[in-house]
Amino acid sequence: MSEERKQWIPAADSSVELLSSYGDVESWDVDIADAGVRLDAYLADYYDQYSRSFLQKLVKDGKVLVDNRPVKNNYRLTGGEVLRVQIPQPEQLDVSPEPIPLEILYEDEDLIFVNKPKGMVVHPAPGHSGGTLVNGLLYHCGSSLSGINGVLRPGIVHRIDMDTTGVLVVCKNDLAHNHVARQLADHSITRKYYAIVHGVITEDSGTINQPIGRSRTNRMKMAIDIMNGKRAVTHYRVLERYKDYTYVECQLETGRTHQIRVHMTSINHPLLGDEVYGSRKTPFHLQGQTLHAGVLGLIHPRTGEYLEVCAELPEYFLRLQNSLRNQK
């Protein structure tokens, strides 16, 4: 891209009227060398401090104009267009810090790895305005969290379900956030989960390669969707067999919503305790699915070295294993 493209547009510019007045507007001419490049890819290269999903939302919301008109993210540049982009002013954070105890597995100036307990929601949402991981992080870190994902999700670059335990990485600045987000998008992060599933899996290992999308019959659930689902791959390995259950390691190649829960159900081995995707009753008193994020490994955004953090199995999981070993 040309280095002479950037200029600030005064408020009197007529094209700015197409954009709501909630941030500065930046304008430049697209270099002819960038002809054929998708708009979202071009913006991601230009604004490397922001995630692609953030920029795509700007395009979708009409905050990016090409020759004074809104376009879609898949618009391909021809070169010579005038591009105008409005970046919103940072919103005031309206989530309160709370002195919630956090188990910090690793922390430096860029990243925090937290061992999330069962029952904790990652970020505020309807019905969960407090007591979330974000509330605890704000108390622990103050303002030292990335702001790319907005006021309700500072530092949050990925999530795990409320009743899933284990390691989760949080970003303390936008540089780290963008770096980790790219690794997530490239599926280059190591993510190993540990689960107990119904039934005895006979093979020692296997791979489930089935696309996942929103269920057509229940929009609150995910499902295997051959036609419209997104690519989803889970590699599993049997660690221990019990009388009626199996302890497995699941390594994610992709990271779709509820991926392990949907995939294991698809091979008739739903997770123990999963009342959403598993229909079988159990004699155990459990709070949701028996699933633990045990290993998370990534390239550190500042050092460029591989960093792997592990979270030990929680007490309830260990007690359950002992009970299963004693079954006859």
Give the Cα separation of 155 and 174 in Å (integer). 8
Which residue among 40, 110, 161, 274 is the active-site one? 161
pLDDT digits (tens, 9 = 90+) for 129-145: 788 999 999 999 887 88
pLDDT (average), residues 154-179: 92
Q: How does residue 9 score in pLDDT terms, banded at 50, 70 and 90?
A: very low
- Tokens 């922390």 belong to 107
In DSSP notation, 248-316 reads EEEEESS--TTHHHHHHHHTT-PBTT-TTT-----SS--SS--EEEEEEEEE-TTT--EEEEE-PPPHH
Greatest alpha-carbon span in the chain: 80
The pLDDT of residue 193: 98
Give the Cα separation of 35 and 41 in Å (integer). 12
Is residue 45 annotated as part of the catalytic site, yes or no?
no
Q: Which domains does the chain show, CATH number per domain?
A: 7-88 (3.10.290.10), 92-181 (3.30.2350.10), 187-328 (3.30.2350.10)
Q: How does residue 15 score in pLDDT terms, banded at 50, 70 and 90?
A: very low
Please tell me the least confidently modeled range out of 79-83, 237-241, 324-328: 324-328
Contact 35, 77 (CB under 8 A): yes
Give the Cα separation of 50 and 88 in Å (integer). 12
Question: What percentage of the chain exceeds 70 in pLDDT?
Answer: 85
Q: Which helix (H) or strand (E) holds 27?
A: strand 23-29
Q: How does residue 89 score in pLDDT terms, banded at 50, 70 and 90?
A: low
User: Higher model confidence: residue 2 or residue 66?
Assistant: 66
Q: Answer whether residue 1 shows pLDDT above 80.
A: no
Q: Is the dihedral of CA 204, 207, 213, 216 positive or negative?
A: negative
Helices and strands, number each (H, E), in the chain: 6, 16
Give the Cα separation of 31 and 153 in Å (integer). 35
Per-residue burial over 47-56, b = 16 or more CB atoms within 10 Å of its CB, e = otherwise = beebbbebbb
